[in-house]
Amino acid sequence: MRERFWERFTLEELTAEEWEALCDGCGKCCLVKMENPDSGEIATLNVACRLLDIQSCRCSDYPHRFSRVPECTQLSLENLDEFHWLPHSCAYRRLAEGRKLASWHPLRSGSDRRMHERRMSVRHFAISEREVNEADYEAHIIDIIPLEPKR
């Protein structure tokens, strides 16, 4: 990867490897979301995808995630606007909005230790969807994101 690529190149100029490296590994995008069909609001739950290793905040089967979890979606430059629910801390969102990576981001800090210490990952609160009955999902809502106009 090119040195400090996130500061020197636009998202459009990144290689596939650099795009993947932008992920801070917080696991927030792997939390279950529910969309209100009437309002378009998206509720985020403290319930994580069954493939998420909550301790490491990484997918336990990343290469096969789409076949094992059909609702899993690939974030790309082409569909970034559809992911308006990404947290404000997300590197993809930050760079798309013209902001810099957070100081705790693993690319800046050298490891994911700071991210976890600052409680920016789901490690400290998420539970696996294997442990929650879908009928109880509403009790696990931790945030509601209003529908935002496309950028």
Structural domain spans, the chain? 5-145
Question: Backbone dihedral region of 119: left (phi > 0), alpha (psi from -120 to 50 degrees) or beta?
Answer: left
The 10s digit of each residue's pLDDT in 62-71 is 999 999 999 9
The residue among 108, 72, 74 whose CA lies nearest residue 91 is: 108
Q: Is residue 83 very low, low, confident or very high in pLDDT (cuts 50, 70, 90)? A: confident
How many C-beta neighbours within 10 Å does residue 3 have? 6
Q: Of all residues in the chain, what percent carry a pLDDT higher than 90?
A: 82
User: What is the pTM (predicted TM-score) of this model?
Assistant: 0.88
Return the pLDDT at 148.
Answer: 60
User: Which pLDDT band, with edges at 50, 70 and 90, does 151 fall under?
Assistant: very low
pLDDT at 80: 87
Distance CA 89, CA 77 (A): 17
The pLDDT assigned to 150 comes to 47
User: What mean pLDDT comes out for the span 124-128?
Assistant: 97
> Band of the pLDDT at 82, cuts 50, 70, 90?
confident
